[in-house]
A and B are shown apart, each in its own frame.
Chain A
Amino acid sequence: MSFAFTDDQKLLAESADRFIQNDYTFENRRKNMEMDGGFNRAVWTQFAELGWLALAIPEAYGGLGGSTGDAAVLLESLGRGLVVEPYHSTVVLGAGAVAAAGSEAQKNEILPEVAEGKRLLAFAHVEPRARFTLNHVETSAIKDGGGYILNGEKAIVHNAETADTLIVSARTGGATTDHDGVTLFLVDPAAKGVTLRSYPTIDGLRASEVTLEAVQVGADAILGTVGGAMPVIEAVVDRACVLLCAEAAGAMDAAVTLTVDYMKTREQFGRPIGTFQVLQHRAVEMLGAKDFSRALTYRAASVVDVADPRERARAVSAAKVEMGRGGKTIGQEGVQLHGGMGMTDDMAVGHYFKRLTMIDVLFGNIDHHLRRFARLG
């Protein structure tokens, strides 16, 4: 296990950081958020041209074959910019599921288009009553000739309204929380019976409640083996958690830097507030929170591609717990140390706080991952 970045990773980080600094300013992000569908298509095309969408897609399908560690490097930079484009939905979760479970034909059809920026995906797995239990799937898939009929509800599906293809989990067998019996399907969001109720999220993204009512899909819509999707879903979500932590590491880094800079310039009582030792220690705690979380995240990134499911789960949950705690420290303290300014929508620090808080909630909060880690022994 190496804890050093490769030369390629260093180059990637440099170019991605440069892009964020020059092209993805706080003001540009705000404009992107307000565009149709909640992000900027031109930026997405740029991501494709830079090879960022291809980064972690296998070489055989138009990708660059990068590791999860490589993707983490990119996501850390994107986190600094609070990027709103659908990287997690399309590339991490969507393409991740297709790469892990798809047939040759499906991979050949979908992955190159993702890499080129021509196809957007959304991962419709979580359900309204599932909370953080991954194998809680009520949506049903009933056999109908060669295909299936889907009925159910999916919750907080990020970027569903702009997706060309939804990846939907449904039960072909078993009871609501059984590990066996879950199947993944490729679903056209324009298909009859698919209804989206779309809304902004508090951290500036877009999501939808997806209702499936007697949605007919053919046999070619099945992604992977019938009834055997849970191990795939677990692997895809674990990897997504690490990459969310990587994004969070970038967001934490930016929030710490902003706060420290503010403390050095904001004067009260005739001197910069950063000269008050009691505040210096708070900033030190923030920096430590970021450093520990980031270190554990990269360790988890190197584990997810190779470890057995138990080791993988432990590494991911540990990273997610550390990220949740660090994000809370940095978000809350970042706002506090900015005083009234920290409460304003005009200052970036509050936006980092909101994103960090929501990353904690995604795919299980601190308590969920603590419990999972403890159960794994």
Chain B
Amino acid sequence: MELILTAEEEAFRQEVRAFVTAEVPEEVRRKTMTGFRLSKEEHVTWQKKLFEKGWVAPGWPVEHGGTGWTPMQKHLFEEECAAAGAPPVIAFGVTMVAPVIMAFGSDAQKDYYLPRILRSDDWWCQGYSEPGSGSDLASLRTKAVLNGDHYVVNGQKTWTSLAQHANLMFCLTRTSDTGKRQEGITFLLIDMEQPGVTVQPIKTIDGSTEINNVFLEDVKVPVANRVGEEDKGWTYAKYLLGHERTSIAAVGRSKAQLKRLKTIASVEMQEGKPLIEDQNFKEKIAAIEIDLLSLESLVLRVLSDESAGKGPGPEASFLKIRGTEVQQGITELLVEAVGNYAHPYVPEAMKTGWNEDPIGPEHAASIAPHYFNWRKASIYGGSNEIQKNIIAKAVLGF
């Protein structure tokens, strides 16, 4: 079921398609499609290219450098980028911290950080979770103590994605222990390149190291790097979490992966026939495709509510739940599709410059690691259980 587009929308789609297919390097496309890790340089180079085109921040207001696109245009853009294997724009700067700075930051912060975010001059990471504070984020304990014109920060953040690349972290800290836990949290922008900040990689079950522990020891943060008021950080943090849930749904990416699944299933042979001709397998693909269609429909509905001035409601949590279920469902079918060749684990084959023959079919190398890695999707960004708690409370009134 294709989207019914106006002539202008179709023209827009073609314009985006022409740009991204011409500009995404083949090696980057291959890595994005197969779930191989991209280098920092590959991400930054792509984001700078989008910046030059004026397309790096479609979600931003026009006055800050946004595109002024309609919800449908934003959706088509995401879909075309994913289809062409463009690296997803790293969310921490453009889609996470930037809206907070726009809404609650000082003029100086806006003037300094927003252009740098657009140009990808900084790499941001998100310092929310702590060992003792995951789902129960408001219990966080990393302490910030005011000392003249700066805060002294002590504590530990964990699961910090891509902190190894980051020079800046937006960080939730505790500035007060009295009253409600939510009322003593302060939102700080921390320079990672200073004494007292230690980044320690955490190896995940697929063998990769994309997450980290970040230790903060007597780290100095100028008061000028506080966003908004002291003790009001929880409001800003939640604003960020509620923002852009539509992009977590990653409809475009799932469409591209579904296509890849079909391609692989049409070359994998089962009992003399392509696997895709197996009725049972075909129906499993169909079931996911239907899940994805209804997800896309809800995304577009939420996007148009947003552009009509209604903020994303708690129903947006459904987008996160369904979006990650679809992504995980596809990774599961990919494992089924490659059969025995899910076994070999050759991480070198996923890196640039590996030019030996693949073990088994070339498409198989990353499939099992990717399946295991993608279990993270129902855990991060507020686990799917927490999303259901939010819906139960905020929508159903329990």
Give the B-binding residues of A (Cβ under 8 A). 126, 128-133, 155-156, 177, 197, 199-203, 207, 209, 267-270, 273, 276, 278-279, 332, 335-336, 339-340, 342-346, 350-351, 353-354, 357-358, 361, 365, 367, 370-371
Contact = CB atoms under 8 A, between A and B. Distances in A.
B135 A202 contact: no
Interface in B342-361: 342-346, 359-360
Contacts of A353: 205, 372, 375
Interface in B201-229: 202-205, 207, 211
Given A209-B359, A346-B203, A358-B342, A339 B336 contact: no
B204 A268 contact: no
The list of the 5 closest CB pairs from A to B, nearest first, reads A350-B205, A345-B203, A268-B136, A202-B345, A201-B343
Most chain A beta carbons < 10 A, residue from B139, B280, B345: B345
B375 A339 contact: no
A361 B205 contact: no
Given A209-B359, A278-B385, A344 B134 contact: no
A342 B378 CA distance: 12
Given A340-B134, A353-B205, A199 B268 contact: no
A207 B341 CA distance: 11
B340 A126 contact: yes
Contacts, number: 129
Nearest to A158: B343
Contacts of B281: 367
Contacts of A354: 205, 372
A34 B63 CA distance: 57
Given A268-B136, A346-B203, 13 more contacts: A133-B270, A201-B344, A340-B129, A342-B379, A344-B205, A345-B203, A345-B204, A350-B204, A357-B368, A357-B371, A361-B335, A365-B339, A371-B280
Contact of A367 (B280, B345, B383): B280
A126 B343 CA distance: 13
B307 to A, nearest CB: 34
Interface string B122-164: 0000000100111110010000000000000000001100000
Interface in B264-311: 268-272, 278, 280-281
Contact of B375 (A332, A345, A370): A332
Interface of B: 129, 132-136, 139, 158-159, 202-205, 207, 211, 268-272, 278, 280-281, 335-336, 339-346, 359-360, 368-369, 371-372, 375-376, 378-380, 383-385, 388
13 contacts: A131-B268, A131-B271, A156-B343, A200-B344, A268-B136, A270-B139, A339-B383, A343-B379, A344-B205, A345-B205, A350-B205, A357-B342, A361-B342
Contact of A200 (B139, B270, B345, B385): B345
A131 B375 contact: no
Nearest to B348: A199
Contacts of B345: 199-202
A346 B135 CA distance: 21
Contacts of B202: 344, 346
B359 A199 contact: yes
A340 B159 contact: yes
A156 B340 contact: yes
A340 B205 contact: no
Contacts of B360: 128, 155, 209
A346 B371 CA distance: 18
